[in-house]
A = this chain, B = another copy of it.
Amino acid sequence: MNYAEFQEIVVESRQELFRETIARHRATIRVRKEAIAIRNLAKIFDAVLEIANRKGFAAMSMRDLSSESGLSIGALYSYFSSKEELLEMLQNHGRTIATRIMDQRMSAERNSVERLRAAIRTHLYLSEAMQPWFYFSYMEAKNLSKVERDKAIASELYTEKVLEDILREGGEAGVFLPRDYRLAASVMKAMLQDWYLKRGKYTMRRISVDQYADFVVEFVESFVLKDGVSRIADSCPGCAATLVPS
């Protein structure tokens, strides 16, 4: 599966997830007509991501949000009861999509090498499809309430644990070299996060998400596999092409 195919999955589940988010916040969302609520909530979330990723959530005023989303300030407040709740809604919404898709796709793979590759690819594809949300979530995490911040941290650590467990199982099976798997998972995570944190840089350099994924797989495998480089070059000649100096 390449990125183009993956993207469709995300687009398809989008509608359904807005329905769920609206249901979860039935208490504060006063708009009863679902179609309208979905359309406007999507506009609001997109506008928040656009403004907050440019100048920060704290610096975004309701007047900014009103003009960017096309809804009046009064109308905005029938979708949330405070700016803080808006932040929490957006965090929960994004995290739910991300977690669900990640879990779905990881459950398919069985052997360690394939699981490692799938984890890298899926995470990168996901953060590519939802780049504004991932960036926002990273940058605004410290501004969340303690409860919400703890959820965000738990989610981060869970992703890292998934990577660590793949490495550990592969290590026990003798597929991977003995390494500090926890530290390896940490720096892998850092590489995955760089994709959405420095998106502009990679766009300028004309690096596609598939190229980046191939590179990260290669880099990590050279560290954990016994024969490092050769394997992926054999199994995926196209990938190897991305490894020569530019």
Residues of A within 8 A of B (CB): 53-56, 58-59, 139, 142-143, 168, 171, 177-184, 186-187, 189-191, 193-194, 198, 201-202, 205, 207, 212, 215-216, 218-219, 222-223, 228-229, 242-246
Contact = CB atoms under 8 A, between A and B. Distances in A.
Contact of A187 (B56, B142, B216): B216
Contact of A59 (B143, B186, B194): B143
Contacts of A212: 183
Given A183-B215, A186-B202, A187-B216, 6 more contacts: A168-B245, A178-B245, A180-B242, A181-B245, A183-B212, A218-B223
Contacts of A181: 245-246
A230 to B, nearest CB: 12
20 contacts: A53-B142, A55-B142, A56-B56, A58-B58, A58-B59, A139-B139, A178-B243, A178-B244, A180-B243, A181-B245, A182-B245, A183-B215, A186-B198, A186-B201, A186-B202, A187-B194, A190-B190, A190-B194, A218-B223, A228-B228
A184 B193 CA distance: 15
Nearest to A179: B243
A178 to B, nearest CB: 6
- Interface centre among A181, A198, A205, A242, by most chain B C-beta atoms within 10 angstroms, is A198
